[in-house]
């Protein structure tokens, strides 16, 4: 039926008779097939009140309406205005599914969360573009905490999507995930084809700075733990052992792990830590030869804390510069400061 209509009507719940504005999604390309008809320009009949409350962009556009019935356009945001059925229409750049997700987040209805990486990035970008920050936070909470969409496996694609959409926070988080994989052409493969030069440069610099921070964090941790005496815990089998001699092997195993970690950040997991620490069998007390127990969980936590602290410190100079590079539209204000890391170096001259 949609084939014979100018526009596809989305229907419930965005078909109220008292709707006072229409949001029109981006039409499908001319080559669209029947299967793609869902992507044809779709009308969402909505209420100005919801848009105004949820989005300062729509608030501006709707409240500054001129004498004509048609609302204002915004070329920078690629919003064109029209009329249809005697209602004002905002012709938007976003596709049907993106607008659907966005509207469910601001209406009292079941939220339709993006399920794929591409859908997630498009929705994030739209939410930021229209300054719908409550909706953005809602999606972020779900897509990062409840049902994570970005994984180590698609981290590069996520990074490139985020970079291309101007989503700094997501770009940085995805860049961090890429640290768990080697930065090689074999690893990246054809995903590289979607990358711009600046995106690759930012990613390379991010990795370089992060790995330097990891090394510094490792050194600080080694200093703190010393010969691991403080991480010895009472043995469940020999509760009377109170020997103070540690022997050298626990520290040697710890150093082996930290050396490997500095070369391969993907080892930064408790399971890898346990595996390497116990690879040479159990530790034995240097004095009584009884099995010695170390609080490996706490020890790993110490290492993790030092590494993360150093990474955060490495971000500090980027933060200042990133925040000073605020765009004309002011959207960067809401970006977490650490998000500037991946971008700042590009603004400096060589």
Partner 1 sequence: MLQLHRELLSLFDHSQQVADSRPSDEAPRKFGKPFDRRDADLIIRSCDQVDFHVHKAVLGTASVVFEDMFTAPGPSPHEKGQEDPVLSLTEDSKTLHRLLTTIYPVDPSVPETPEDALFLLATCQKYEMDSTAKRIRSLLKERTPPLFTALDSFRAYGIASRYHLKEEALLAARLTLEHPMNFNSCGEDLRFISGADLFRLWGYHTECTKAVRNCINQMKRTSGESFPYSSRSCSGTVNIGKYNTDELQSVPRWWHGYFLGKVADRPSPKTITDRLAFERALVAHRGASGCPACLQPDETRVDNTICAAFEAKLTAAIDLVGVVTPLGPIVFSELKGPPGSQRRCLYMGLVS
Point out which residues bind partner 1 (CB under 8 A). Answer: 160, 166, 183-185, 188-202, 204, 325-329, 331-332, 343, 346-347, 350
Contact 306, 218 (CB under 8 A): yes
* CB-based contacts of 98, cutoff 8 Å, min separation 6: 25, 114, 119, 122, 123, 126
DSSP assignment letter at 292: E
Q: Distance between the two ends of the chain, CA-based, in angstroms?
A: 58
Query: Given the complex with partner 1, which of 223 and 333 has the nearer CB atom?
Result: 333
Query: Given the complex with partner 1, which of 135 and 202 has the nearer CB atom?
Result: 202
Contact 15, 87 (CB under 8 A): no
* CB-based contacts of 271, cutoff 8 Å, min separation 6: none
CB of 272 to partner 1, least distance (A): 24
CB of 217 to partner 1, least distance (A): 21
Query: Given the complex with partner 1, which of 40 and 178 has the nearer CB atom?
Result: 178
CB of 206 to partner 1, least distance (A): 11
CB of 167 to partner 1, least distance (A): 9
Query: Given the complex with partner 1, which of 295 and 329 has the nearer CB atom?
Result: 329
Q: Which two tokens stand for residue 228?
A: 């691991």
CB of 161 to partner 1, least distance (A): 13
Query: Can you tell me whether residue 43 is helix, strand or coil?
Result: strand
CB of 201 to partner 1, least distance (A): 4
CA 219 to chain centre: 29
CB of 61 to partner 1, least distance (A): 18
Query: Given the complex with partner 1, which of 188 and 300 has the nearer CB atom?
Result: 188
Query: Given the complex with partner 1, which of 136 and 195 has the nearer CB atom?
Result: 195
What whole-number distance in Å separates Cα of residue 57 and Cα of residue 39? 24
What whole-number distance in Å separates Cα of residue 81 and Cα of residue 75? 10
Which has the closest alpha carbon to 304: 268, 338, 276? 268
CB of 200 to partner 1, least distance (A): 5
Residue 94 backbone phi and psi in degrees, to 5? -75, 155
Contact 114, 125 (CB under 8 A): no
Which has the closest alpha carbon to 125: 150, 89, 95, 154? 95
Query: Given the complex with partner 1, which of 37 and 200 has the nearer CB atom?
Result: 200
Query: Given the complex with partner 1, which of 41 and 211 has the nearer CB atom?
Result: 211
């Amino acid at each position: 039926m949609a084939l014979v209509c100018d526009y596809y009507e989305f229907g419930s719940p965005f078909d109220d008779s008292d709707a006072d504005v229409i949001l029109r999604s981006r039409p499908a390309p001319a080559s669209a097939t029947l299967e793609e008809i869902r992507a044809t320009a779709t009308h969402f009949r909505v209420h100005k009140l919801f848009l105004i409350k949820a989005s300062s962009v729509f608030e501006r556009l709707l409240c500054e309406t001129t004498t004509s019935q048609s609302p204002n356009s915004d070329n920078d945001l690629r919003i064109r205005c029209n009329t249809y059925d005697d209602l004002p229409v905002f012709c938007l750049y976003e596709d049907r599914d993106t607008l659907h997700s966005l509207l469910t987040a601001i209406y009292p209805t079941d939220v339709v969360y993006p399920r794929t990486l591409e859908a997630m990035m498009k929705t994030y970008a739209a939410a930021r573009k229209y300054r719908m920050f409550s909706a953005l936070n809602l999606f972020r909470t779900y897509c990062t905490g409840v049902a994570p969409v970005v994984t180590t496996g698609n981290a590069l694609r996520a990074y490139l999507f985020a970079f291309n959409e101007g989503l700094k926070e997501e770009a940085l988080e995805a860049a961090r995930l890429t640290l768990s994989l080697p930065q090689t052409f074999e690893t990246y493969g054809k995903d590289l084809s979607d990358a711009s030069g600046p995106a690759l440069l930012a990613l390379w610099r991010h990795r370089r700075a992060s790995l330097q921070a990891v090394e510094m964090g490792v050194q600080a941790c080694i200093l703190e733990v010393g010969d691991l005496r403080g991480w010895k815990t009472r043995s469940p089998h020999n509760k009377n052992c109170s020997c103070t001699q540690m022997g050298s092997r626990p520290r040697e195993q710890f150093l082996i792990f930290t050396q490997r970690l500095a070369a391969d950040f993907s080892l930064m997991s408790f399971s890898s830590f346990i595996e390497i620490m116990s690879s040479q069998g159990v530790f034995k007390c240097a004095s009584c030869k009884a099995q010695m127990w170390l609080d490996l969980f706490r020890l790993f936590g110490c290492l993790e804390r030092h590494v993360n602290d150093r990474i955060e410190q490495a971000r500090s100079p980027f933060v200042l510069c990133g925040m000073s590079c605020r765009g004309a539209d002011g959207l960067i204000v809401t970006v977490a400061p650490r998000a500037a890391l991946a971008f700042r170096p590009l603004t400096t001259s060589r």
